[in-house]
Amino acid sequence: MTLTRTTKSSRRFLAAVFILASLSFGSRAQQPAQDVSREHARSSRDWVRDGVVYEIFPRAFSTEGNFNGITARLDNLKDLGVDILWLMPIHPIGQEKKKGSIGSPYAVRDYYGINPDYGTAADLHRLIKEAHRRHMKVIIDIVANHTSWDSVMMKWPDFYEHDAQGHITYPHDWYDVAKLNYQNPKLRDYMMKMLEYWIREFDLDGFRCDVAEDVPTDFWENARAELDRIKPNIVMLAEGHKAELLLKAFDFDYSWPLHSALTNVLQGRGSATDLRSAWEKEFGDWPRGSLHLRFSDNHDERRAIARFGEPGALAASALMFTLDGVPLVYNGMEVGDTAESGAPALFEKLPIFWPIAERRPEFPRFYKQLMTLRRSSVALRRGSLEWLKNSDDSRVLSYMRRAAGEEILVAINLSNRPFVGSVESGKGAFVDVTPDVAQPLPPDAPAPERAARKRAVELPSLSLDAWGYRIFRRELK
C-alpha cells in the first residue's frame, strides 16, 4: 500500500529536485531515522539471497480468484523459476467506508480470519503444503499499521489512535482504514500473538509487512526475536525504506528510490546516471550488507508494460534481475499482462488474462531464461557490483557483478535510441548469455540460420537496440 505519488509536469523542475524527489521515493519519503551506515544488517538465509519473490493477488491470479486457483498453477510457477510466493492480504475485507465495490485487501477486518472468497483454512493449508513440496516458500502480507473501520478490534477503542476531538483517526489520506496505536502495550501483545499464530498454525515462511516504517521499529525487532524462536528459518520483508529496519527486524526492504529513478529515466525525465546515484546513496546510507527488493512492477503501481512499453518493461526487468538484491515478479508480468491492480483497480476484480502470452511470447521466454541465468550465477545472486564507464552514460547503464570464479558484465540502454559505442570491460574473453527471446529455431534449422542467431562479442565495442540489453559472462581462473 503506497501513497499516491505526485507527478511534475516541468522537466526542468524535476531535474532540479531529482535528488530530493527520486532518492526519497516520492511522497512517502523518509531519511534514515539514525545513522546506521557503519553497522551491519542482520544476516539472511541463503534461500532469501538466492530467491526470486513472486507476488500474488489471489483475487486476480485466476478466474476462480481463490487459493485453489493458485495451487493449480504451482507447477507453472516452479517451472518459471520463482522461489518465494508472497500472498497479498488473505484476511476478510472491511465493508465500512470501503473503496470500490469489493474494498481494499489492505483494510483488514480480522487478522485471524480468512477471506471466504479465497477459500477455507484447509485450502490454505493445502496451498502451503503443495508449495513446500515443490521447494517453494510462502509468505503472507501483514497490514500491521491499520485496520478496517468495522474491524473486530474496534471493541477496544484504545487500540487505535485518536485525534484532538477524541475520534479514532486514519493514517495519511487513507480514509478507509483506522490507525492502530502502538503506544498501547495490549495492542502490541495482540499483534505479536497474531503473528505467532500464523507461523505456528500454518507453517508459513514469513511475512511481507505493509508500510512497515509507520510501525515502531522496536515492535518489529521484538516480533522478529519471538518469531525466530518459533521458526528460525523465516523471512521478513519490509514495505518501506528506513535503514534501521534492517539491523535486527527485517531481511530486506523496498528500494523505492531506485524504483522512482527508474520510472523517471524510462519516461524521459532523467539520466541513466540517476539510477547509479540512487543506488550509491542507498549503499552509503544503509547498514553494511543490506539487502533490497528490486522491482519494476507491483500492485501499487501502474503496470510496467503500461508505463514503459513492451521493450522498456523487459529492459527494466533485465536491470532488476542483474543488480544486487532480490528481484520481484508481480503476477502476470511473465506473460506481459496489462490488467491493472493499483487503486482503483485494487478494489475490484480484474483477473489476469493469461492467454495474452500467445501475443507476447517473448515475455515468458525472457523471464524463464533470466531466472535460469540468475540461478546458475553466483555473481548475480551474491556477487559485488562495480559500475563501469561507457561512451554514453546518460542513456546506458553498465556494471560488473563479481564473485569467485566469475564475472557478469551488464549493459542496458534505457532510451528509445540505438546505442553504438564502447564499454569498459578489461582483459579476457566474455561469452554472451543474454536471454534469446526470439522464436526458437527448429532442430533441423540450417547452419547459416543458426549462425545468424549467434550474437557477436566484440567488447569493448558494443551496440544496443533501443531499450536493448546485453549480458556477458567471463570465467576467472
The mean per-residue pLDDT over the stretch 150-174 comes to: 97
Q: What is the pLDDT of residue 443?
A: 81
Answer yes or no: are the C-beta atoms of 217 and 9 closer than 8 Å: no
DSSP-derived letter for residue 390 is B
Res. 342: pLDDT tops 90: no
Please say whether the beta carbons of 280 and 272 come within 8 A: no
With contact defined as beta carbons under 8 Å apart, do 109 and 91 qualify?
Answer: yes
Mean pLDDT of 372-390: 97
Single-letter amino acid code for the residue at 181 = N
pLDDT of residue 350: 95
pLDDT in tens, 389-399: 999 999 999 99
pLDDT score at 149: 98
Query: pTM score, two decimals?
Result: 0.92
For residue range 20-75, what is the model confidence (pLDDT) as tens digits?
A: 333 333 334 344 468 999 999 999 999 999 999 999 999 999 999 999 999 999 99
Which residues, 6+ apart, have CB-to-CB distance to 378 below 8 Å?
403, 404, 405, 406
Q: Is the pLDDT of residue 10 over 70?
A: no
Domains and CATH numbers, the chain: 31-376 (3.20.20.80), 385-475 (2.60.40.1180)
Q: Which residues pair with 327 in a beta bridge?
A: 294
pLDDT reported for residue 25: 36
Contact between 153 and 146 (Cβ < 8 Å): no
Instruction: Say which residue the cell 514469513 belongs to.
Output: 206
Q: Is 471 helix (H, G, I), strand (E, B) or coil?
A: strand
Alpha carbon dihedral 235, 364, 119, 92, in 10-degree steps, equals: 60
| CA distance readout (Å), 405 to 85, 378, 394, 401, 426 | 31, 9, 31, 11, 16
**pLDDT, tens only, 210-249:** 999 999 999 999 999 999 999 999 999 999 999 999 999 9
Does a cis peptide bond (omega within 30 degrees of 0) precede residue 364? Answer: no
Q: What is the pLDDT of residue 438?
A: 85
Q: Is the CB of residue 299 less than 8 Å from the CB of residue 341? A: yes
> What does residue 454 show for φ and ψ, rounded to 5 degrees?
-75, 135
pLDDT greater than 80 at residue 91: yes
Within 10 A of 370 (CB to CB), how many other CB atoms are there? 27
> Rounded to a whole number, what is the largest CA-CA distance in the chain?
80
8 Å CB contact between 95 and 340: no
pLDDT in tens, 292-307: 999 999 999 999 999 9
| C-alpha distance across the termini of the chain, in Å | 47
pLDDT for the residue 33: 61
| Amino acid letter, residue 456 | A
Q: What is the pLDDT of residue 195?
A: 98
Side chain identity at residue 140, one-letter code: I
Euclidean distance between CA atoms 326 and 320, whole angstroms? 8
- Looking at every residue in the chain, the average pLDDT score rounds to 92
Instruction: Give the side-chain half-sphere CA count within 13 A for 188.
Output: 14
Mean pLDDT of 327-342: 95
Structure confidence by residue, pLDDT tens digits, 107-154: 999 999 999 999 999 999 999 999 999 999 999 999 999 999 999 999
